[in-house]
Chains A and B, each alone.
Chain A
Amino acid sequence: MTKTKPTVLIVDDMEMNRVMLRDILTHDFEIMEASGGSEAIEIIEENADKISAVLLDAMMPDLDGFEVLKALSRRGLLENIPVIMISAENSPEYIARGYDLGVVDYIGRPFDPNIVHRRLSNVVMLYAKQNVLTELIKEQISQREENNSMLIDVLSSVVEFRNGESGPHVLHIRRLTELLLKELARLDSKYVMPPQDVAMWATASAMHDIGKIAIDDKILNKPGRLTDEEYNIMKKHSIYGYEILDHLNWHRSPLIEAAKQICRWHHERWDGKGYPDGLKGDEIPIPAQVVALADVYDALTSERVYKAAYSHEKAIDMITGGECGAFNPDLLKALTRMSGSLKKKINAAPEKNYDAIAEQIFEGLRERLDRV
């Protein structure tokens, strides 16, 4: 088995120093050389994927080692490429400065070749392991996120499809939820949350109507107006959604807990006149309030069997004019503030063709049910 040698860049203005290091390392490392600071930065930028470590001389005429470190750190290159500083300067302040600027090790002159070799090998191994692990984790997370999102979108689209509302509704809700949460955070620091939470709530928002799966077809797709009795049944989709998720017994999943809140409370109103629990004002969790607003906005701007689509401007007027429910004033402020760019942004989300997948799954389900 031929093992590829890790590449080490030797940066030193003195040829003799470079040759000494090359002699020590050439057996186990691929060697690159730079005779100055600017040359080093150039080589590192071009070969960032290839270079496993840098041996950096502190004192060089064009750009000294410290300047090189600063430049590398500005370009984000120090995170993945370990730098070992070598210098005849052994004063503690000098060494401390090197560490402050991000070197992983400091070797003084005269150096013992065996020690240079060993320290370099250790550092290279450590970083190689770290890089491999980081890549693995990143890959797994993104894959899991992607799978999560896809399953949730498929599930939500199944509901939408059955509801006769298929279209980009779920994607719009998701995008609107994300945009509104971010705008709220800009409005007031009390609404600030970590980006992964924003992403989680946006994903959860896609599930807001999954309770409709338990509502009778005849009511769900009734062409005319619902009777009071039918409307009361229809309203239960909020509780049903909550219960479906609750019965999953995934209580410790933050995403499921988030989706439970959204399913149950996305029809509550700021003035307490919503359903199912009649929560009022701050009793309603902010993300559920956000989804409620997103739901109303998207319903207004979409075409339905019983109505044409309102324009973006008309929808904003109707919502802020209080014609479509009662909302948190902060939320209305956020909506108004982002109103200008909303029309463009809402469709900027990548359109994934989950509808078609959902339709297929649904057809399959229906065939099976027919056979029973």
Chain B
Amino acid sequence: MITVAEAYSELNENYDAVLSRLMGKENLVIKYLTMFKNDATYDALTNAVSAGSAEDALRAAHSLKGMCFNLGLISLGTVCSDLVDAVRGGEYDLDQLYAPIKSEYEKTAEVLGRCLD
């Protein structure tokens, strides 16, 4: 079991920034991280990509990006943002855009798994 601060540093993210935004309340951070971990949006993204539905993928990636930024998970948020921009731009390869999201998400989920009970 690691602390939230350790989890953020392992993910190369800035925990202090998140904590100060959430009024210094670590219990709130933990609450939101737990919700994030149990959230189905990433699964929806995975399904959309394997079904080849760019529109659904864009929507899921956009939602994921919002959650990530709020939680200070910038690396994951950024690759989600890349997918959103590329699909909006009209020239893209869904699988290619999905790959970094998958690896970032799995890494994040694994670290958070060790930190949340």
Residues of A in contact with B (beta carbons under 8 Å apart): 13-17, 19-20, 23, 59, 61, 87-89, 109-114
Contact = CB atoms under 8 A, between A and B. Distances in A.
A343 B35 CA distance: 70
Contacts of B59: 59, 61
Contacts of A14: 39, 41, 63, 66-67
Contacts of A87: 66
A20 B66 contact: no
Contact of A88 (B21, B22, B39, B65): B65
Contacts of A19: 31-32, 35
B22 A17 contact: no
Contacts of A17: 66-67, 70
A226 to B, nearest CB: 86
Interface of B: 21-23, 28, 31-32, 35-36, 39, 41, 59, 62-63, 65-67, 69-72, 81
Contacts of B39: 14-16
Contacts of B70: 16-17, 20, 109-111
B62 A16 contact: no
A100 to B, nearest CB: 19
B32 A89 contact: no
Contacts of A23: 28
B67 A59 contact: no
Contact of B62 (A15, A88, A111, A114): A88
A19 B65 CA distance: 17
Given A16-B35, A112-B21, A113-B22, A59 B62 contact: yes
Contacts of B69: 88, 109-110
B66 A15 contact: no
B103 to A, nearest CB: 21
B87 to A, nearest CB: 13
Contacts of B81: 88
